[in-house]
Amino acid sequence: MDNRLRLPAEWEPQWGILLTWPHEETDWKPYLNDIIETMTHMVREIIKYENVMIVAQNPDLIAEDLREHERVFITTFPTDDTWARDHGPISLMKETADDKRLCWLDFMFNGWGNKFPAAYDNMVPLKLLAYSHFLEEAEIENHQDFVLEGGSIECDGRGTLFTTSQCLMAPHRNQPLSREEITEQLKRRLRMERVVWLDHGNLVGDDTDGHIDTIVRIAPDDTLLYVGCDDDKDEQYEDFRALEQQLQTLRTKEGKPYRLLRLPMPEPIYEAESGDRLPATYANFLILNGAVLVPVYGQPANDELALSILRQAFPDRAMIPIDSRTIIRQHGSIHCLTMQIPEGRKN
């Protein structure tokens, strides 16, 4: 493996954002128009700052003005679902004096531990590589012998990876590997110097077994944004208090405490038909070149507090609220729907 490769932080320059468009054969069918409206809004905001690559089983479901936009690139092949964060390629970067080259890592995506069909989605990275309109002279590494979802990791771009034990040690991922063995696999495959494991903070309603991008996110200047819970009657109170306490003990590679910014916990939101609690979280934001797309939930006080805290982490970027109440009906949010593609075209 090429040790010159590096996993960039999400706030580094991006070529664009990958999305996988919903269609009639996904679980979005009962409210397909609603999720298409939400994702259309997202695309219209993203293209103000960078490109969008859309994988679409049925491209006719994409608005005509977007299909014709110079910053929107569409490729068509079958898909199981829409969660590009988990089935999209993870991009490493190789930088030289006059060149930035991307290397895509193609990990196994098995529907979050064989919970859902994923055969088509698992093929997305390899199929995308053949679509050369937007990525020149890319490389790809085959990691289909290891299960890894993009939502389960966070990276600072300087050799530190964060993940959660509840996800990576969950059944049907990479058993019988131990935590120590998985640590070594992550360091080798993602070119990391160290892996930080978090042991608490699993959102009720999250069927990914506890992806880190729903609870803790990394921002510039050794900043960790995390979800806190103030309601001691909330069933998640103790778990998120334990998460906060663990974060307070963490140190950077240089031995310094992290700057901690506490995001509010949204008021509980329930699926009307089933009564199940949905995994609403402000941590599932998307960083763009000049902006941040922030999930909001029709809760003015909490929504504005989350926006103000994110402004502290990203003072040089616009905050763009996106109503995410439809997205969470399928147990994800904005970050889960998207995967960044770093700026890696040859100069």
* Number of DSSP helices (H) and strands (E) in the chain, helices first: 10, 16
* Structure token digits, residue 107: 């990990």
pLDDT (0 to 100) of residue 347: 31
The third-level CATH classification (topology) of the domain covering 14-342 is L-arginine/glycine Amidinotransferase; Chain A (3.75.10)
pLDDT of residue 264: 98
DSSP type of residue 277:
B
Spatial contact of 334 and 42, defined as CB atoms under 8 Å apart: yes
- In the structure encoding, which two tokens stand for residue 176, read together? 């019988």
Looking at residue 49, its pLDDT comes to: 98
Q: Judge if the upstream peptide bond of residue 176 is cis by omega within 30 degrees of 0.
A: yes
10-residue block means of pLDDT along the chain (347 residues)? 84 96 96 98 98 97 97 96 97 81 94 96 91 65 97 98 97 96 98 98 94 98 97 96 98 97 98 94 98 98 98 98 98 97 68
Residue 345: predicted pLDDT: 55
Residue 40 backbone phi and psi in degrees, to 5: -65, -45
Displacement of CA 140 from its chain's centroid (Å): 20
**73 in Cβ contact with 134 (< 8 Å):** yes
What local confidence, expressed as pLDDT, does residue 2 receive?
A: 61
Q: Mind giving me the DSSP string for 168-202? A: HTSTTSSTT--HHHHHHHHHHHHT-SEEEEE----
Token look-up 């509980």 returns 268
Q: For residue 182, what are the contacts with CB-CB under 8 A and spacing of at least 6?
A: 168, 169, 174
Beta carbons of 278 and 330 less than 8 angstroms apart: no
Q: Which helix (H) or strand (E) holds 164?
A: strand 160-164
- According to DSSP, the β-strands at 318-323 and 291-296 are parallel
DSSP letters along 302-322, please? HHHHHHHHHHHH-TTSEEEEE
> What are the two backbone dihedrals, phi and then psi, of residue 154, each rounded to the nearest 5 degrees?
-135, 140
* Cα-based distances in Å from 99 to 134, 221, 270, 343: 16, 26, 49, 11
Q: Domain ranges for the chain, please list them.
A: 14-342
d(CA 226, CA 161) in angstroms, rounded, equals 16
Cβ-count burial 21-60 (b if 16+ within 10 Å, e if not): bbbeebbbeeeeeebbebbbebbebbbebbbbbbbbbeee
Q: Tokens for 333, please give them.
A: 């949010």
> How does strand 223-227 pair with strand 259-263?
parallel
Distance CA 267, CA 327 (A): 16
Q: Is 4 helix (H, G, I), strand (E, B) or coil?
A: coil
